[in-house]
Amino acid sequence: MLKARETHLAGATVLRGPMGFGKSSRLHTAKILRLSLDLPIVIEIVDNEEKINAFQPELNKMIGGGLVTLETVKVIEYRGEAKAE
C-alpha cells in the first residue's frame, strides 16, 4: 500500500478476509484463540494499465506466494471528498 502511494498510483485498498483457501486447499481461518498470520488479503490497486504494469516489478519483490490478476474496469464516476463550505 505504501509503495503504491509512493509511486503515485491513483488508489489502493487492502481487504483482510476472515477465511479462505488457495492452491493447497488448506483452510485459513480467523479463530478467537489464535492470531492467524496467514489470513487471505486482497490488495486492489487502481490506475491505468501502463502505470500498473510499471509497478509490477515492485509487487513481485513483495509477494512470496499468491495470485495476481489484472482486470479492466469501467469507471462510472470518481469523486474526491466534498469540501466543507
pLDDT digits (tens, 9 = 90+) for 34-57: 555 667 788 899 999 999 999 999
In a domain, residue 19? The reply is yes
d(CA 54, CA 57) in angstroms, rounded, equals 7
* pTM of the complete model beyond 0.85: no
Domain coverage including residue 53: 2-62
Q: What's the domain count of the chain?
A: 1
In a domain, residue 36? The reply is yes
C-alpha cell at 29: 481461518
d(CA 46, CA 13) in angstroms, rounded, equals 9
Phi-psi region of 19 (alpha: psi -120 to 50; beta: other; left: phi over 0): beta
In a domain, residue 45? The reply is yes
In a domain, residue 69? The reply is no
Which segments of the chain are extended strands (E)? 11-16, 19-20, 28-29, 41-46
In a domain, residue 23? The reply is yes
- The predicted-structure confidence for 58-81, as pLDDT tens digits, reads as follows 988 988 778 888 888 888 987 777
